[in-house]
Structure 1
């Protein structure tokens, strides 16, 4: 799972940014935020979205190597009123709307961990592969009004490899109520020592094998980031979406021998067909 989910700066033809009358005529999404996908079109029952995304991102946390990757996109969803149960990639969860201004989400996901081979330049040699593990995510978003123009975001991720917390504020643009349009957010991230050392710590055995200095990080402030999301519907079935992230690390993380860049960046674009 990514620490911070996504912002995309896309340069497209002006037509891509024009929201059609068809999109406005659709029923209201669970919440009108581009970052919260809702393929149900406001109807109860099953909904499916399937597509592909292309991401250009850091090879690993703190890396100065970048690469492109093609991944599946979409989800299987089942909606009942203001509740959606979903299976998306390696996450299984639920989200529900309460009092028109509270969105609560709970999910179980899987952290694949870092692999020594993630660095083509051999900068992870001797560090071994990171531990895989399940993660539990609990998120709450609170809108300032029912139009979800401005909102606050709180998130906790905890699992076998430690815990992380995020607090952010966001704004969406446009008047669409179907979950399309633009959205930006700013967030600060905190982690405990176990989560910090998962990606940036070096124990005695790793130090001897890699030649890097032994490093033991404490918990606390991790990073500050900026996020942008975009979603557009071409017609009843086809969507284009984009995301990008910029996350600036704290000085403690930047000083780790593993860290080659004091930031992480990601940009991606994809298409989804909604059945």
Structure 2
């Protein structure tokens, strides 16, 4: 009986150790969050993912016009331990994990601005094109548990045309540790007056050219948003992803003549091939 008990104990210990080792082997992503691209599969050095996505989205911020648009997807990444340097489309940046709880992300990104032609219905006529801008994006997430099931998120976007901040909470579904699965975030979005008027303000010159009343917005709460991200490996190389986003504007933004809708929404799906 003692021999049987001892054998069972050894088997249980081995099973636990095997399960733990397997979990460690599976933990290939910098953080196990589908919204954070990681094509390295836990390996230091270069990685490369290339693909495309199709977005169905608002024509511009506050628009009630929607349309489809094809976009490239993927990134070039270089990993060294808990740090990844990346180039993804119009963004160049670094992200890293510290103390297993903190994810930091710093990027320089390009904002194309808004053009009058973005509205097929001519609702931007006379407003001119907003300036293109290079922005600095600072983001951090703090895990509230050991496996990044819950977290706090903060993001600041700053550039020559104002500042925007985002703060919220997130939740990850599933037990995958390779960056696949799905997650959801609930956030509050804030902007200063300069950023608010870039998207929704109308100055005297624009008012005279468009016939719309002058509009000047103050800073503060811009919107409440929710987004859902999904990612799945079809095989060793092909990955499918999807995202849905909804942002509901505060009343002063809704009152702008540029905001033809109370919200902005986007749904996208796509494929990435990982080399």
On whether the aligned pair clears a TM of 0.5, the verdict is yes
Distance 2:269 2:67 in 1: 14
Residue 86 of structure 2 is matched in structure 1 by 86
Deviations 1:190-229 (A, max 9, x none): 0000000001000000000000000011100100001100
Q: Is there any run of 5+ residues in structure 2 with no aligned partner, and where?
A: 1-21
Residue 96 of structure 2 is matched in structure 1 by 96
Maintained 8 Å contact 1:24/1:178: no
When the two structures are aligned, how many residues end up with a matched partner? 254
Residue 46 of structure 1 is matched in structure 2 by 46
TM-superposed CA distance for 1:146, in Å, is 2.0
SS at match of 2:76: strand
- Structure 2 residue 130 is matched with structure 1 residue 141: no
TM-superposed CA distance for 1:24, in Å, is 9.7
SS at match of 2:140: strand
Distance 1:39 1:231 in 2: 12
TM-superposed CA distance for 1:168, in Å, is 1.0
Change (3 A) 1:125 1:118: same
Distance 1:152 1:111 in 2: 26
Residue 196 of structure 2 is matched in structure 1 by 196
Deviations 1:68-101 (A, max 9, x none): 0001000000000000000000000000000101
TM-superposed CA distance for 1:128, in Å, is 0.4
Deviations 1:8-55 (A, max 9, x none): xxxxxxxxxxxxxx9996442000000001000000000000000000
Distance 2:243 2:146 in 1: 24
Q: Is there any run of 5+ residues in structure 1 with no aligned partner, and where?
A: 1-21
Residue 237 of structure 2 is matched in structure 1 by 237
Maintained 8 Å contact 1:48/1:75: yes
Distance 2:67 2:239 in 1: 25
Point out the structure with max Rg over C-alpha. 2
Distance 2:176 2:55 in 1: 26
Instruction: Compute the RMSD of aligned alpha carbons.
Output: 1.3
Q: After the TM superposition, which residues 160-171 of structure 1 pair with which residues of structure 2 at under 5 Å, given as runs? A: 160-171=160-171
Q: After the TM superposition, which residues 1-275 of structure 1 pair with which residues of structure 2 at under 5 Å, given as runs? A: 26-275=26-275
TM-superposed CA distance for 1:145, in Å, is 1.5
Distance 1:81 1:116 in 2: 46
Distance 2:220 2:27 in 1: 43
Residue 3 of structure 1 is matched in structure 2 by none
Distance 2:204 2:23 in 1: 57
Distance 2:89 2:252 in 1: 32
SS at match of 1:202: coil
TM-superposed CA distance for 1:177, in Å, is 0.3
When the two structures are superposed, what TM-score results if normalisation uses the length of structure 1? 0.91
* Structure with greater proportional helix content: 2
Distance 1:262 1:213 in 2: 19
SS at match of 2:207: helix
Distance 2:114 2:273 in 1: 31
Deviations 1:149-206 (A, max 9, x none): 0000011000011000000100001110000001001000000000000010000000
SS at match of 2:176: coil
Distance 1:26 1:209 in 2: 59
